[in-house]
Amino acid sequence: MMQKKWTGLIVLAWFCILIGYANTASAEPVKLTYSCFFPPSHIQSILAEQWCREVEKRTNGAVKIDYFPGQTLTKANQCYDGVVEGMSDIGFSVLAYTPGRFPVMLAVDLPMGYTSGVEATKVINDVYNHFKPKELNDTQVMYLHAHGPGLVFTKSKPVYKMEDMSGLKFRSHGTSAEVVKALGGTPVAKPMPETYELLQKGVVDGAVYPLESNKGWKLGEVVKYCTANFSSAYTTSFFVVMNKDKWKSLPPNVQKIIQEVNAEWIPKHGDAWDNSDMIGLKYLLDQGGLIIGQDSKEAARWKAAVTPILDSYAKELSAKGINGKEVVDFIATTLKKYQ
């Protein structure tokens, strides 16, 4: 009888040990990887890493995120596909680096005359929430944001009027390349991380980008002139997305926490773009740079020159079975509301 009792206790003990092991195993954190093309010192990269740490904190360590800035996991133009294919679980890059893939969202990049990153960031999230385009269905969108006004910068020759753009080569991509062409310049399609070297070596005469890049990418060291062409200013759309299967594998409570953090990070990115524009402006001036203003007449000329880009893009969308006029008009109306 005593032997049976001890046998039962031993079995019970082993059962408890196995249950404890199972609980320990299930308590292992979910590990995610995050790829970002911005260098680690850039404010946008800093915000992305802070997002990682905030998710970890609010999930009480149930999620752990390995953050890879500076294209160390996937290149800027490979980032989105890298998320789709599982090379990274989360990715942060530029929609325009994959031409033709995001026709609705890239309408946001059109030269609408943006004046701040806050308004551009509000616009892009409104566009996504309103149209819910299928083009992003192969990932789980965390959130989107967009930089402040994209302006004209040159290395040696100042651009006072549109005719000064003629004969100059500008690093640009996507919509910004169309802006360069409309204004009389020659676009050279290259990703942002290559811009410093292109300017330094004289491969291009200038570039189009937001003021923040003068400090964020140190471009203020290799350009001298900024033409404040706000009337024809474009923006660039950025994505933060997660692999869809990975998202579906997360517990509902973790998904809810991540969505709450996402909502908080949208205005953080908008504010950061504007704050860094001011820092970039100061950095350019400190390097001896010059800001070239435009009077109302010249500003109107530049706006008129880029307006056909909007009309042409609307027609391109319509040819793809998308109501292009509705998309472009929605963006223009939304931007006006925020301005």
- In angstroms, rounded to a whole number, what is the distance separating the alpha carbons of residues 192 and 217? 8
| pLDDT bracket for residue 27 (50, 70, 90) | low
| pLDDT bracket for residue 88 (50, 70, 90) | very high
**Same fold flag, 29-146+236-277 and 151-235+287-313:** yes
- In angstroms, rounded to a whole number, what is the distance separating the alpha carbons of residues 267 and 119? 10
Tens digits of residue pLDDT in 222-237: 999 999 999 999 999 9
- In angstroms, rounded to a whole number, what is the distance separating the alpha carbons of residues 93 and 318? 27
- In angstroms, rounded to a whole number, what is the distance separating the alpha carbons of residues 264 and 65? 18
- What number is the average pLDDT over the span 140-153? 98
How is 220-289 classified by DSSP, letter by letter? GGT--EEE--GGG-B--EEEEEEEHHHHHHS-HHHHHHHHHHHHHHHHHHHHHHHHHHHHHHHHHHHTT-
- In angstroms, rounded to a whole number, what is the distance separating the alpha carbons of residues 38 and 29? 27
Contacts of residue 252, Cβ cutoff 8 Å, sequence gap at least 6: none
Between 14 and 298, where is the model more confident?
298
Contacts of residue 129, Cβ cutoff 8 Å, sequence gap at least 6: none
Q: How far is CA 199 from the centre of its chain?
A: 23
Q: Where are the beta strands (DSSP E) in the chain?
A: 30-36, 63-68, 90-94, 139-146, 151-154, 169-172, 186-189, 206-209, 225-227, 237-243, 290-292
Is the torsion defined by CA of 329, 330, 333, 336 positive or negative? negative
34 and 90 Cβ atoms separated by less than 8 Å: yes
- What number is the average pLDDT over the span 249-265? 98
Query: Is the predicted pLDDT of residue 339 greater than 50, yes or no?
Result: yes
Task: Please state, as a whole number, how many other Cβ atoms lie within 10 Å of the Cβ of residue 250.
Answer: 19
How far, in Å, are 23, 160, 266, 289 from residue 257 at the CA level?
23, 50, 15, 45
Tens digits of residue pLDDT in 43-71: 999 999 999 999 999 999 999 999 999 99
Tens digits of residue pLDDT in 64-86: 999 999 999 999 999 999 999 99
Tens digits of residue pLDDT in 234-253: 999 999 999 999 999 999 99
In the chain, the amino acid numbered 207 is: A
- What number is the average pLDDT over the span 7-12? 43
Lookup: tokens for 43: 């404010």
Angle, CA of 124, 129 and 135, to the nearest 5°: 80
Could you name the CATH architecture of 151-235+287-313? 3-Layer(aba) Sandwich (3.40)
Please tell me the predicted confidence (pLDDT) of residue 3. Answer: 46
DSSP 166: T
- What number is the average pLDDT over the span 188-200? 94
**CATH among 3.40.50.300, 3.10.129.10, 3.40.190.170, 3.90.1260.10 for 29-146+236-277:** 3.40.190.170
- What number is the average pLDDT over the span 319-339? 97
Query: Is the predicted pLDDT of residue 25 greater than 60, yes or no?
Result: no
In the chain, the amino acid numbered 11 is: V
Tens digits of residue pLDDT in 197-220: 999 999 999 999 999 999 999 999
* Angle (deg, nearest 10), helices 296-319 and 324-338: 140
Is the torsion defined by CA of 36, 39, 44, 46 positive or negative? positive
- In angstroms, rounded to a whole number, what is the distance separating the alpha carbons of residues 207 and 151? 8
Domain borders along the chain are 29-146+236-277, 151-235+287-313
| pLDDT bracket for residue 12 (50, 70, 90) | very low
Query: Is the predicted pLDDT of residue 283 greater than 80, yes or no?
Result: yes
- What number is the average pLDDT over the span 176-196? 95
Task: For residue 216, give the H/E element and its range.
Answer: helix 213-216
